[in-house]
Copies of this chain bind each other. A is one copy, B any other.
Amino acid sequence: MTTPRRDTYTPETLLSVAVQVFNQRGYDGTSMEHLSKAAGISKSSIYHHVSGKEELLKRAVSRALDGLFATLEEPAAREGQAVERLEHVVRRMVEVLISELPYVTLLLRVRGNTATERWALERRRDFDHRVAELLKAAAADGDVRPDVEVRLATRLVFGMINSIVEWYRPEARGASGREVADAVVQLVFSGLRRAA
């Protein structure tokens, strides 16, 4: 017999366990039973903290979304030339993705089967739209190449940034969040080719 661990969880620490399990098994594939096992506390102890797994999902994706949206409110995202604001937001997106890696990973895997997932998808679309608007403004200023189509470029840039969750492992002591952000900004704004 295993002795159930005493419930020393806060909503915050319980959330970090739940996000791990969601990312491992998928949200649909996770039951309260799985969460209870992973946390080492009973289901009723979990219900003491939250109403159920959908509330945990909502809190987890909110954390990712709040982090991303907060970058749009930073002074460097609100003042100055659109192209500079865009560069700031791209850099900060990468930094938030890496500092909130499990939460953003979960957000990017959301499918839309529940009200919370649909809400998360809609907020993601809002965010993408705000970034696309910045790119449009930069194009209107004449600061981006005129031959780049805004919608396509937005998708490709998001594709590059979002792909980071597939390979970035903080424990691997590879590139730091800042190094990855630098590399993304260099690639997206100046490209690989050395200026002639």
A residues touching B (Cβ–Cβ < 8 Å)? 83, 135, 138, 142-149, 152-153, 155-160, 162-164, 166-167, 175, 179-180, 182-184, 186-195
Residue in A135, A143, A148, A180 with the greatest tally of chain B CB atoms within 10 Å: A148
CA distance A175 to B150 in the complex (A): 12
Closest Cβ of chain B to A193, distance in Å, is 5
B192-A153 in contact (CB<8A): yes
Complex copy number for this chain = 2
Contact of A145 among B145, B149, B156, B193 (CB under 8 A): B193
B191-A143 in contact (CB<8A): no
CA distance A156 to B156 in the complex (A): 11
